[in-house]
Structure 1
Amino acid sequence: MSKTEKAEEFEELRPLLFSIAYRILGSVGEAEDAVQETWLRFDGSATRPASAKAFLSATVTRISIDVLRSARVRREEYMGPWFPEPLLNDPYQDPARAVELADSVSMAALLLLERLSPLERAVFVLREVFGFGFDEVAAAVGRSEAACRQLLVRARRHMEAGRPRFAADRQERQELATRFFDALREGDVTGLRELLAADVSFAGDGGGRAPQLARAVIGAANVARLLGSLLPLMARVDVTFERHEVNGQPGAIFRDRDGKVLHSLVLDVLDGKIQTIRSVINPDKLGHIGPVADVWAVHRAVQQARRSTR
């Protein structure tokens, strides 16, 4: 097998490998690094595996498990809430598993996966999301098939305990999101409040690298008032936003006056209302989207605009 043939085979499977790694790690950068390390091991292998897909999937899974184990320590020490890095486009598509793929990449699902041990998470991702056989899962995580079945039972239990009882269909989500972003653009506090669940929460992930709220803001009136007052001030310093799906959910990317990425926003829609709003503002988590803005400079400009309106 020539190096060119090996590279072509790897590139064909790259979207799958990235999607596995991202769901295990919740990080675009770490997933890309895991995929690159998988290529190096594949390229350095002297023998041709019987199945490149099985070999590469197992390799990227084992690498991701090792990375996740070390990342757990950093996440426990993380300043403020930790959210996955926003993913704008999932490169892997499989019509036969479209529902599983879409559900598993949402912010809510990825945060539920954080409850699992690294092995439980890997087994759940390979089996439930991508439909690998138990023999393939066992080979990937280095456990027996019986052990993998037990790991999956525990993972399912944790995941089901945290899932919402009522999920919105795609059209409902998009219609509600359109109304939300229209109200947001206008600073319409009343309009925003009507779209929010009574116990809605709004939280941001700054990781100590960006200004963020001291704690999550809870309640429709509080969240509507905060957003309705903040967005007009941001508009005064030329902050704009563009609608975009974020992790398969309705969201937006905010940019400064130079078009640089300021933060992402994603909505969880349940039972006809917006239940959760999450913002990733940590610049370390946004570089894969594009050049990152100086968030502190924008923050200072917003504060100055606020003072000038008093």
Structure 2
Amino acid sequence: MAAAIQGGGGVRKTEEFQELRPLLFSIAYRILASVSEAEDVVQETWLRYQATATQPGSARAFLSTVVTRISIDVLRSARVRREEYVGPWLPEPLLTDPYEDPARSAELADSLSMAALLLLQRLTPLERAVFVLREVFAFGFAEIASAVGRSEAACHQLAVRARRHMDAGRTRFDADRREREELAERFFDAFREGDVDGLTELLAADIHMIGDSGGKAPQFKPIILGVEKVIRVLAMFVPLVISSGGVVEAQQVNGQPGAVFRDRDGQVLSTWTLDILDGQIQTIRTVNNPDKLGHVGPVADAWASFREARHTSVGLRRPRSG
């Protein structure tokens, strides 16, 4: 009988965990900005849940607390590694958020953007956890206090500080998602066609292009500022992609318009995300570090692709005069 009860409890735990897994991953990813670390945290959460001798009154409360506390611990140790990172550090790209809530779809999409995740990096681990639980997933302060091990009053203060920091630096995207997607489509069409004019007219004058290679992939320059310099780099990069048979696959990346770049064999070279405001592209963020792309698909040897492309590159259509 005891074995049967234990077995039934195990089945119940498995079902509850699988139902809550999307939420747990989404909490961990927003706190850590890393797909691989979030997956590890979710797995560790399951192991701890499985090992509990009794059935918690609320699986959601228990699992949310565990995943939050493990994420905070991982974040504290990860900060040291990120301080030693080579070049700009960007979040690991996420193509699909497994957690859906129609009532909070806007908050979920906004909190997933590269811009928002980078802002979260400026917060302390506790501020970040409180902000994610409160502002993104609408947890009550009693639940949050239990999850982070602080009083409700302290969590209120952490939430206020976090919200103030986030509001001060938040990127305001255009409200019309369809317009942003259409502009991104025009950008990547011009890219595929090698049309420098078409690219130039879509870029803001003070555009930023930021690349994360971690020192492990080809990179023209980590940070490029201004439309002339960005176009100069694109004019060098586009022929390499075209001539090597590379594929530019339009995708939503972190809830924003973007693309996955693949080599001729379909292996992943990089991901790009576009921040679009006032009908122009304000920021291009590229993740080229192969360590951050394995969850997107088989990763290409970017150095080999780069060397091959340089031998076979073709010219671009130059900008029209006048």
Under TM normalisation by the shorter chain, which class is it? over 0.9
1:188 Cα offset (Å): 1.1
Matching residue of 2:312: 305
Matching residue of 1:288: 295
1:304 Cα offset (Å): 2.5
Q: Which of 19, 23, 31 lines up with 2:26 in the alignment?
A: 19
Contact 1:20–1:126 (CA<8 Å) still a contact in 2? yes
Residue-pair matches, total: 309
Matching residue of 1:240: 247
1:165–1:237 CA distance, 2 compared to 1 (3 A): closer
Contact 1:86–1:264 (CA<8 Å) still a contact in 2? yes
Matching residue of 1:141: 148
Letter matched to residue 82 of structure 1: W
Does residue 29 in structure 1 map to residue 13 in structure 2? no
Matching of residues 261-276 of structure 1 within 5 Å: 261-276=268-283
> What is the CA–CA distance in structure 1 between the aligned matches of 2:172 and 2:255, rounded to whole Å?
19
> What is the CA–CA distance in structure 1 between the aligned matches of 2:263 and 2:187, rounded to whole Å?
21
Letter matched to residue 144 of structure 1: S
Deviates more, 1:227-236 or 1:199-208: 227-236
Matching residue of 1:159: 166
Contact 1:264–1:281 (CA<8 Å) still a contact in 2? yes
Matching of residues 93-104 of structure 1 within 5 Å: 93-104=100-111
Letter matched to residue 120 of structure 1: E
1:47 Cα offset (Å): 1.0
> What is the CA–CA distance in structure 2 between the aligned matches of 1:277 and 1:156, rounded to whole Å?
25
Deviation sequence 1:117-138 (CA, Å, 0-9, x none): 0000000000000000000000
Q: Which of 74, 96, 99 lines up with 1:92 in the alignment?
A: 99
Matching of residues 29-178 of structure 1 within 5 Å: 29-165=36-172, 167-178=174-185
Letter matched to residue 17 of structure 2: F
Contact 2:115–2:171 (CA<8 Å) still a contact in 1? no
> What is the CA–CA distance in structure 2 between the aligned matches of 1:263 and 1:118, rounded to whole Å?
28
Matching residue of 2:12: 5
> What is the CA–CA distance in structure 2 between the aligned matches of 1:104 and 1:164, rounded to whole Å?
11
> What is the CA–CA distance in structure 1 between the aligned matches of 2:30 and 2:288, rounded to whole Å?
20
1:278–1:262 CA distance, 2 compared to 1 (3 A): same
Letter matched to residue 238 of structure 1: G
1:2 Cα offset (Å): 2.1
Matching residue of 2:205: 198
- Cα RMSD (Å) of the superposition? 1.5
SS at structure 1 position matched to 2:256? coil
TM-score, structure 1 normalization: 0.96
1:178–1:308 CA distance, 2 compared to 1 (3 A): closer
1:307 Cα offset (Å): 9.7
Q: Which runs of 5+ in 1 are unaligned?
A: none
Contact 2:260–2:271 (CA<8 Å) still a contact in 1? yes
Deviation sequence 1:98-122 (CA, Å, 0-9, x none): 1110000000000000010000000
> Identity over aligned residues, as a percent?
68
